[in-house]
Structure 1
Amino acid sequence: MDLDTVRTFVAAADAGQFQEAAAELAITQQAVSKRVAALERELGVRLFTRTPRGAALSIDGQAFLPHARDLLRVAERAVASVRTGSRPLRVDVIASRGAASGLMRAFHQAHPGIELGVVMLHDIEAAVAAIRSGTIDASFRAVTAPGRPLPEDIASVRVLDEPLQLLTGPAHALASARSVTPAQLAGHRIWMPGLDPGTEWAAYYDDLVAEFGLAIEATGPNFGSDALLDTIADTPALATFMGGHTRLVWPAGHGLRRIPVTDPTPVYPHSLLWHRDNPHPGLATLRDHLAAASDGHGAAGTWVPGWAKRR
């Protein structure tokens, strides 16, 4: 059903005259008559009866009027839901406990007036497709991994270098260390279930292994962070990597240790991705906020894969 004809019908019903409806809609009286006639043909009923003073609703017109108003209200809400500046800024943070989630919490605290919609997408292809389709406005990713360039219409900026830490149980051989170097980790078993081939984080750890001669095991099902923490706490031979900004909570009895990795410090390069033509004002505010909060990247004494250095 054409909304212009419905809008014209409501205007004519409210005015009681086609001429006044025409003036309100900034169209001719003839256009009003044609639209009403088209709507009557579509519905198969007469909506108005002519009177000396103009036009009065027929019985069918009176029955249709409240539904016509509902149609227009629904259309207005539909447009408002996607109108720039009136809908939430939708951002993919990958996981609820990661660094990107922390960045968005800080943004929300600094800009509480910007309504947010936070989603979690697994892989970069899904995130880029969602950005291009308008399903989301931005995504936090590690980008430009080998063989995976971004489409020309997707922009990115590096916003955070997150230092890696070693997580061990209390009985691990390195549990008492104040810091460890990548060289000291050679020969130790590092367990990281969930390193799915093809993901940007798998590409990152593949390069880390190759650079420092480490052994990372991704065997076994990924039951989530709680199961990982339980296993690390109970298994002296295992350790894992975690981001320094990752927020995890475990029982006090686990006795887990978060140990900085230094000389060099491997950092995970988080970037913000968005569509170059996205006009949402909240997106510009988010980029400005992240730029102001950033400590920069490429600091001395840090390591990132070669593909990250190009950002």
Structure 2
Amino acid sequence: MLAPMDTEAVRSFVRAAELGQLRHAADELGVTQQAVSKRIAALERALDVRLFTRTPRGVELTLDGQAFLPHARNIVANVDRAVTAIRRGSRALRIDVLGLRSAQAVVLHDYWRSHPGTALDVVTLKVDDPRLAVAAVRAGDVDASFRSVTDPAALPPEVRMIHAFHSPLELVVGPRHPLASARTVTPARLRGHRIWVPGIAPGSEWAEFYQQLTAEFGLRVDAAGPNFGNEVLLDILADSDDVATLVGSRDRYVWPTGHDLRRIPIAGPTLAYPLSLLLPRENPHPGLRAVVNHFANLAPLPEDTWLPSWATDRPE
């Protein structure tokens, strides 16, 4: 069984083969000629073959060396691609969203469609605690995260939070709900109706959002019961004459035609969920600037939009 190969030894072999001289390979790799020679010797011992014949002009590949070269090139290329895939600044821009049907993902998809050459990696960390998202940004696991820390003083100095955009809320009801025929509804008109929002995790930013929302407008937001996912929630709404839920206007939901669900804008005032972006304070990914600029071009919200107290950026 062969010993594990040193990828830098393989890289040294490839460059020596392509340049024909150990000295030139060493200059390009930023090491000494002796280091390149030792690497190649170690590689030859691991493979138990001679890869080069030394000549007055430099080095020439043996038959085994010629056979090994295309595979060695693939090894080096694969290693370089693997490193590029995880290195901040050279890998694809990696942004965390709450869900792939969320407003954040929809807006990012709109951005990507208008900039199709952008290397963009949209991921979901699947964590409720915003501190875990902060830690992921701090560690470089993601370049940015669509999360809000409602107390900015709790952010570590390496991470900052910027306003991204506001997501206006809509009411979703089934065809037998008393509000099903409304074109728009006011928050006051929602009082007394059961608004079911399963999955409000204690300590999450959206838990604080709904707490402030219910206190401000006297709404009945029910988070009881397990969260079996959006499909089950939509099934329940379709069969119910008294249950409604709230969604973001840009959130993407798909349901069977027979459900006949209604998405009703809320106005007077508009209710909006503020979306923030966590990113490194120093050396953010170079692709982030264009994405943030894209947010600035989204349609503004009405002047009377309601936002929670921790959203300091009012809509323009």
Matches within 5 A, 1:80-99: 80-82=84-86, 86-99=90-103
> Given the alignment, which residue of 287, 290, 301 partners 1:285?
290
- Normalised TM-score (structure 2): 0.80
3-state secondary structure, aligned to 1:198: coil
Shift of 1:118: 1.4
- Matched-pair contact (CA < 8 Å) for 1:170–1:256: yes
Q: Which consecutive residues of structure 1, in runs of 5 or more, have no partner in the other structure?
A: none
Distance 1:54 1:225 in 2: 67
Inter-CA distance 245–60: structure 2 relative to 1 (3 Å threshold): closer
2:241 alignment counterpart: 236
Letter in 1 for 2:96: D
- Normalised TM-score (structure 1): 0.81
- Matched-pair contact (CA < 8 Å) for 1:47–1:60: yes
Distance 2:59 2:149 in 1: 66
Distance 1:169 1:11 in 2: 67
> Given the alignment, which residue of 157, 160, 168 partners 2:162?
157
Task: Name which one, 1 or 2, has greater alpha-carbon Rg.
Answer: 1
Matches within 5 A, 1:151-300: 151-293=156-298, 295=300, 299-300=302-303
- Matched-pair contact (CA < 8 Å) for 1:91–1:138: yes
What is the aligned length? 304
3-state secondary structure, aligned to 2:22: helix
Shift of 1:208: 0.8
1:101 alignment counterpart: 105
Superposed CA RMSD in Å reads: 3.3
3-state secondary structure, aligned to 1:151: coil
Letter in 2 for 1:300: E
- Matched-pair contact (CA < 8 Å) for 1:137–1:278: no
Inter-CA distance 196–31: structure 2 relative to 1 (3 Å threshold): closer
Distance 1:282 1:199 in 2: 28
Q: Which consecutive residues of structure 2, in runs of 5 or more, have no partner in the other structure?
A: none
- Matched-pair contact (CA < 8 Å) for 1:84–1:281: no
The reply on whether 1:139 has 2:140 as its aligned counterpart is no
- Matched-pair contact (CA < 8 Å) for 1:180–1:261: yes
Inter-CA distance 33–230: structure 2 relative to 1 (3 Å threshold): closer
- Matched-pair contact (CA < 8 Å) for 2:100–2:124: yes
Shift of 1:195: 1.3
Distance 1:203 1:193 in 2: 14
Matches within 5 A, 1:35-46: 35-37=36-38, 39-40=40-41, 44=45
2:312 alignment counterpart: 309
Distance 1:15 1:179 in 2: 72
Mean Cα deviation higher: 279-288 or 81-90: 81-90
Letter in 2 for 1:309: T
Matches within 5 A, 1:17-96: 20-26=21-27, 31-37=32-38, 39-40=40-41, 44=45, 68-82=72-86, 86-96=90-100
3-state secondary structure, aligned to 1:164: strand
Shift of 1:308: 1.5
How far does the alpha carbon of each residue in 1:65-102 deviate from its partner, in whole angstroms, 9 at most, with x for none? 66654443333323333456653222222112221122
Mean Cα deviation higher: 286-295 or 46-55: 46-55
Inter-CA distance 195–34: structure 2 relative to 1 (3 Å threshold): closer
Distance 1:243 1:15 in 2: 59
